[in-house]
Chain A
């Protein structure tokens, strides 16, 4: 778990001897794993700065990278909860697409009353959460394997979005809404602020609340959790609702960025989100999750894309590199996992 980061005593000032045990524990624990991710990110940044020079190493480009990461980042925070609890959600991308379609249609139909954009946001969040609720019920109470239940939702939600939208794109022209998403706050775009808020909220919930403790416990050993009196099924429903909710938030961000709702939004986002979460250090079998790792994982992929784009390399080359990174990260993770199981 990532809480050691804040629990560990404030880092000893340089030159002061820290007890070797503490350093060892930090390197073996989540801080050590996150350090590995920071190093990977630093290497990518160095490669970018060397190969693309100022085009890469400008403040504008840094903001572009984070902005690019923000939508998939929000989805990945929800995915972190699902995977930590021992589940998987393949439907996040198409649920996001469905949310953009329903919300933009509602906005168009309700015309441009002054408050309608708030309603649009609420509808997007509600559609996402409802889809997550359905996933959760089917998985926890219907006892359908999560992989299949959410695969069905992936296909079904995409189809529903096409049906509702009649495969056409709805343009959102509420100027208040678009203006809000075009604005900056303290020099940072709104999309980045949303990502930041969701990530911090996710960190607090996972590491500091009873809900987070239940999530880790259920993922670590569902049977022991059940026999200790935790309502495992109900909790799993909440978990999938969180994934749906973050898909809804991502849908609002997508509407703000592209000004359009369409059934094709979010295609393959589920794979990017799962990759970011697992590369970040959350165990795919559940029982250990790290929000900080997920954020770093998302940033690594987004930086990678940027470096490749700046160097005019094709997306095919990017995808090969992504594949290699995912395998390398999972191999490393297994090394850590087997070391961890032998005790500290």
Chain B
């Protein structure tokens, strides 16, 4: 469908490596992008997609490896250098300035001016031209960007790329912020761009989209290219999923017997909903049971947890813990009823990084250790030390600043917090994000142990194999709807992806 010369390699990346403080984010990425193609980069969360993007856009410098641009070896020293080469990036969080007009945004950083005076009229006229090229001649370049929808902000971001001599546009999950009809428009624009010979690197984990607009695919996993230059038309979905997930990963999930049928129901949600986000979620979790939520980012899975916890006010339905109906929108009520949450963003939502470990462990319970309002730090420290030992948290010094710990150990602090507090229900949002493989197995074993001790647990993760491996039962969620509830042994990862993609396409 594209007539531009396909053989010329516009961008070639060989053996790209990048580490952060010992964590290997990229460990050998190869990628060849031709002019005028839509090249899809596929990979799970944490596979290294964002690091790759940031390296190509000049935000990070690679540790080793080579980048060739139109056949010449280049170093991309910074964002400006990338733009000068002709590489523009559209980030997921759109980097537009709300208070400026479209034209001002488009020419931000390379304003047309003489002696400091802006050529407003010519900037507006050129922006109008570019918008027309993108099929949006109806939008005025004088419109303030803050008034635009997410889809139109994306258009502004693309117009900005076109205002320079751009040959390659990297799009990081561009459809994540769009409705389905807006996605159609995005695809049209992408086709326009490629017709003009511009290459698009399209990052997404929605296979359906890739099938629709992609030409070739590169799959990365754990910072390595698993396969590159696969033809979209000729590669079956199961092959892609196998490359993305890699079944050679050893089974790190602890096995557990079935939950006894007479185990009491600890948590139940009845037709729970938050207007505009998710609706009609009903579920029961019994003592000792682990229930998993599987779904994509933005499916509503984290919001359901927040509503159960009272961190987000539900607009319909009820949450009941051990027979007590909780007041909507009250974290305090949830905590008192015995719910604990380990939030999605460990650092920004879970921990006080400059405070010592023990104070983070007792953050929910320090008042209980106190007498008449006076803290008893000795007792607190002892309680924390017990959990540090039980969870094998390292280093085992309760007075150490929390910031210095690894992701896995920081996660253990959050588990310890609720163990000290004592909970009947534990909500775990992305319990292994940023946790390395070895520590993951430990966290999994801990979660299973907590369940065995009678805690009712809900696990949310964007890694579907994690949800399936850990949970007894799974709710598949898409666009705020529970598509199905099933035993985790009765569904596999392709099955979940298939459901989600059909669900989100509908």
Using CB atoms and an 8 Å cutoff, list the residues of chain A in contact with chain B: 208-213, 216-217, 220-221, 223-231, 287-288, 340-344
Contacts and interface: CB of A to CB of B under 8 A. Distances in A.
B46 interface: no
Given A221-B352, A340-B354, A342-B404, 8 more contacts: A210-B366, A210-B373, A213-B366, A216-B355, A224-B349, A224-B352, A228-B363, A343-B404
A217 B335 contact: no
Interface of A is mostly: helix
B367 interface: yes
4 closest A-B pairs by beta carbon, nearest first, are A343-B404, A229-B335, A220-B352, A228-B363
A73 B121 CA distance: 58
A16 B153 CA distance: 68
A213 B375 contact: yes
A225 B351 CA distance: 8
A340 B401 contact: yes
Contacts of B2: none
Contact of B400 (A212, A225, A340, A344): A344
A209 B417 contact: no
A211 B366 CA distance: 10
Contacts of A209: 370, 373-375
B462 interface: no
Nearest to A223: B349
Nearest to B417: A228
B337 to A, nearest CB: 11
A226 B311 contact: yes
Contacts of B335: 228-229
A231 B349 CA distance: 15
Contacts of A228: 335, 363-364, 417
Contacts, number: 80
A188 B311 CA distance: 52
B304 to A, nearest CB: 15
Contacts of B343: 224, 227
B331 interface: yes
A231 B332 contact: yes
Contacts of B251: none
Contacts of A229: 331-332, 334-336, 364
Given A210-B373, A223-B348, A231-B332, A343 B363 contact: no
Contact of A208 (B311, B374, B403): B374
Contact of B401 (A216, A223, A344): A344
B353 interface: yes
B352 A343 contact: no
Contact of B341 (A213, A227, A287): A227
Contact of B331 (A211, A216, A227, A344): A227
Residue of B363, B373, B401, B404 with most chain A CB atoms under a 10 A cut-off: B363
B332 A221 contact: no
B332 to A, nearest CB: 6
19 contacts: A209-B375, A210-B375, A216-B352, A220-B352, A220-B353, A220-B355, A221-B351, A223-B349, A224-B343, A225-B352, A226-B311, A227-B311, A227-B331, A227-B341, A227-B349, A231-B332, A287-B354, A288-B354, A343-B401
B366 A227 contact: no
B350 interface: yes
A49 B311 CA distance: 59
Contacts of B473: none
Contact of A220 (B334, B354, B373, B375): B354
Nearest to A213: B366
Contact of B350 (A227, A231, A287, A288): A227
B18 interface: no
B359 interface: yes
B118 to A, nearest CB: 31
Interface in B355-373: 355, 359, 363-364, 366-367, 370, 373
A226 B348 CA distance: 12
Interface in B309-363: 309, 311, 331-332, 334-336, 341, 343, 348-355, 359, 363
Contacts of B401: 340, 343-344
